[in-house]
Structure 1
Amino acid sequence: MNLSESHRLFNHDENEGDKMITQVYSNIYKNEILLPNNPLKAINSYIIRGEDRNLIIDTGFNIPGCKDAFMKGMEELGIERKKTRLLVTHLHSDHSGLAAALQKEGVTVCAGAIDGRLINEMTEEAYWDRFKDYGRLFDLEKDNISFHDHPGYKYCPKEPIDFIYLKEGDVLKVGDYTFEIVDIPGHTPGHIGLYEQKHKLFFCGDHILDKITPNITFWGFEQDILSVYFNNLQKVAQYDIALLLTAHRSTIKDHRKRIQELLEHHRLRLNEILMIIKESKKSVRDTAAAMHWELRYDRWEDFPNPQKWFAAGEAMAHLEHLVATGKAEKIKESEIIYYKAK
């Protein structure tokens, strides 16, 4: 389950100025595409230019403003659509939103198999109907919540995409670069990244971000997604990386330091939630309402619907991890799930 293409919640000021194409490495450019009325502000779409073929990583929302910025970036660098592959690192709509439209214009579209299939499922209303059940399960019916105003629903691709599916170890050659696909699930079930060994570059999507914390949310009871994320943070820590190119905010030069900061963030988060559910059982919604969020809102009741989905999903991922590690128990009553510390 996921509606989120966002991350840890935080305050922001809208920056309405146009972003520019900037070179971040030899023949590698960052197209910073604005995400209107979204706390993430912008996405870093990367363009790798080669003589015979080009590669672009991630797209922005499925809205005219993002498409205009995306196409202007290609035009500025003289990128031909039919000589270009788009790689979608994961399913969130700020990364995949324009994939269907770009494929219609001759761009080859690649993704990991898990998230690629989920992106195509998201073009059907049946995918989103499941969230009515999650609303009840999480106790969000107290807030009369809907997903229809959520950017994940509004800005995702609306038509199926004929993806070229990539798996770990596959290689994409662009100019002087040889990129290897790396599986890094956690933020989504099938998140992928690209590693360039010679130059020690790693395109990590939303797996690791600077300043803000990637949202780790509930994806179903089949796996403890927080443990999956922790394992893949440690996986990336083993790589020799000089520059970590992230999908939001700044690039990262000391990836191991940032990984330790993220692990510490989640350790503190888990301890906070244990204290919330220590004395009595709590629903997911009531747990999320008691947690600390870096928002300008003082009360849970004032949170916009999308932020309530993000917060509940993050709370649920942490609660399920506490159950998986034997620190909490869960009880289901009248279609609502509750958690209590052991």
Structure 2
Amino acid sequence: MSTTAERDALAAALTYPQGDTLPASGAVHWLAPGVGWLRMPLPFALDHINLWLLRDGEGWTIVDSGVAIQASKDAWEQIFAHELQGLPVRRVLATHCHPDHIGLADWLCQRWQVALWTSAGEYAFARMMSAALPGVDNAAAVAHFQRHGLRDPVLLEQMSARKNYYPSLVPSVPASYTRLQDGQLLTVGERVWQVVCGYGHSPEHVALYCEKDKLLIAGDMVLPRISTNVSVFAIEPEANPLTRYLESLDKFAKWPNDVLVLPSHGKPFQGLHQRIIQLREHHRDRLAEVLQACQSAQSAASIVPLMFRRALDAHQLSFALGEALAHLHALWYDGVLRRSVAADGSVLFQRVDA
């Protein structure tokens, strides 16, 4: 995990055309004709999400929604009252299934009687997690973390207490949707956007690229200050998400460096190629550290302090454990680690040459 100073240094290599401007809650900052930037609060350490408002003929397309909290609903009502120029919302688009991106999608769709647009993978996972189905519920997550070395009784109790985490932030998902697919061309008003599906962060993450205006709605795939979380989850315990994520970055690297990247967290920036290089170097360095640590047998839980050198609450620890396991799996799939099971049931990884 990089320090604040390291993140500042990396961010300084990028260009921020909007300077220090941030949209006020309940207001829109216009980045280009018909392209609005919104910012909504989140009840986490990562305290905001960027949302996007696109002019869509005689109406609007909303991209991402925020979590289902009253502060976000109030902010949306302010936007509806003062920013839509008397025009209706025509559709709601979700880049992916995480709560900050889809939490209020059903509320928005019902509010405007419109459809949700997203990929099949994201829609399916949102429906499963909102319903807390077995395999994606809290009990499955706790058992998954125990299997990968988490033994601290206090932390296990805290994680067990998060039974309604996802459903509390995504209380419902629309009963139907319109599918977006990789490579699809989506016309929104006068702009044509290419749908780009990425993997590793979520099942089938949707990004949107407008070649004509050099605009990239990147979701969580490319962020300016922090690295995208890439985790192995209980429902797909043999997954190799880090490799999938790094492969997905190849799709983004083919576009011009001076595209305006509209990320879900942080500020819009230019310097796409530099940021992709930084992200690749970040994971290369983490993989090297993990491989070195695996001279002796390690679990995902024992790798967490190596990758995240600060105190973590239960919410942060769940992501940290998933990411530690993603790095171990990448090395395991590459054949440089072997996997075994300890007497207490913990999954362990060790270098094959150790």
Shorter-chain TM-score range: 0.7 to 0.9
Which residue of the other structure, out of 136, 141, 153, is the alignment partner of 2:146? 136
Q: For 1:54-69, what aligned pairs fall within 5 Å after superposition?
A: 54-69=60-75
Structure 2 stretches lacking a partner, 5+ long = 6-21
Q: For 1:188-227, what aligned pairs fall within 5 Å after superposition?
A: 188-219=202-233, 220-227=236-243
1:230 paired with 2:246, answer yes
Worse-superposed segment, 100-109 or 191-200: 100-109
Q: CA deviation at 1:43?
A: 0.6
Task: State the Cα deviation string for residues 218-267 of structure 1 (Å, max 9, x = none).
Answer: 14245421111111111110123621111110112110110000000001
State the AA in 1 paired with 2:172.
E
1:31 paired with 2:38, answer yes
Task: Report the Cα distance in structure 2 between the residues aligned to 1:74 and 1:262, rounded to whole angstroms.
Answer: 37
Q: 1:40 to 1:340 in 2, by over 3 A?
A: same
Q: CA deviation at 1:75?
A: 2.7
Q: 1:159 to 1:151 in 2, by over 3 A?
A: closer
Worse-superposed segment, 204-213 or 63-72: 63-72
Task: State the Cα deviation string for residues 25-46 of structure 1 (Å, max 9, x = none).
Answer: 111011111113x222211100
Q: Is the 8 A contact 1:56 1:85 kept in 2?
A: yes
Which residue of the other structure, out of 319, 332, 335, is the alignment partner of 1:323? 332
Q: What is the DSSP-based 3-state SS (H/G/I as helix, E as strand, rest coil) of the residue aligned with 2:227?
A: coil
State the AA in 1 paired with 2:332.
V
Worse-superposed segment, 112-121 or 187-196: 187-196
State the AA in 1 paired with 2:283.
H
Q: Is the 8 A contact 1:48 1:174 kept in 2?
A: yes
Task: Report the Cα distance in structure 2 between the residues aligned to 1:8 and 1:194, rounded to whole angstroms.
Answer: 28
1:104 corresponding residue in structure 2? 110
Q: CA deviation at 1:70?
A: 2.5
Q: Is the 8 A contact 2:95 2:206 kept in 1?
A: yes
Which residue of the other structure, out of 273, 291, 294, is the alignment partner of 2:290? 273
Task: Report the Cα distance in structure 1 between the residues aligned to 2:306 and 2:182, rounded to whole angstroms.
Answer: 39
Q: For 1:79-94, what aligned pairs fall within 5 Å after superposition?
A: 83-94=89-100
Identity of aligned residues (%): 26
Which residue of the other structure, out of 318, 323, 345, is the alignment partner of 1:314? 323
1:257 paired with 2:274, answer yes
Q: CA deviation at 1:169?
A: 2.5
1:178 corresponding residue in structure 2? 192
Q: Is the 8 A contact 1:182 1:193 kept in 2?
A: yes
1:305 paired with 2:310, answer no
How many residue pairs get matched?
324
Q: For 1:238-257, what aligned pairs fall within 5 Å after superposition?
A: 238-240=254-256, 242-257=259-274
State the AA in 2 paired with 1:194.
L
Q: Is the 8 A contact 2:67 2:169 kept in 1?
A: yes
Alignment TM-score, normalising by the size of structure 2: 0.84
Q: CA deviation at 1:311?
A: 0.9
State the AA in 2 paired with 1:319.
L
Q: CA deviation at 1:205?
A: 0.1
Which residue of the other structure, out of 118, 125, 132, is the alignment partner of 2:132? 125
Which residue of the other structure, out of 149, 156, 160, is the alignment partner of 2:169? 156
Task: Report the Cα distance in structure 1 between the residues aligned to 2:87 and 2:103, rounded to whole angstroms.
Answer: 17
Q: 1:91 to 1:340 in 2, by over 3 A?
A: same
Worse-superposed segment, 331-340 or 262-271: 331-340
State the AA in 1 paired with 2:315.
P
Q: Is the 8 A contact 1:169 1:182 kept in 2?
A: yes
Q: CA deviation at 1:90?
A: 0.7
Q: Is the 8 A contact 2:26 2:77 kept in 1?
A: no
State the AA in 2 paired with 1:268.
D
Task: Report the Cα distance in structure 1 between the residues aligned to 2:190 and 2:299, rounded to whole angstroms.
Answer: 53
Q: Greater RCO between the two (CA within 8 Å, min separation 6)?
A: 1
Question: Root-mean-square deviation (CA), in Å?
Answer: 2.5
Q: What is the DSSP-based 3-state SS (H/G/I as helix, E as strand, rest coil) of the residue aligned with 1:189?
A: coil
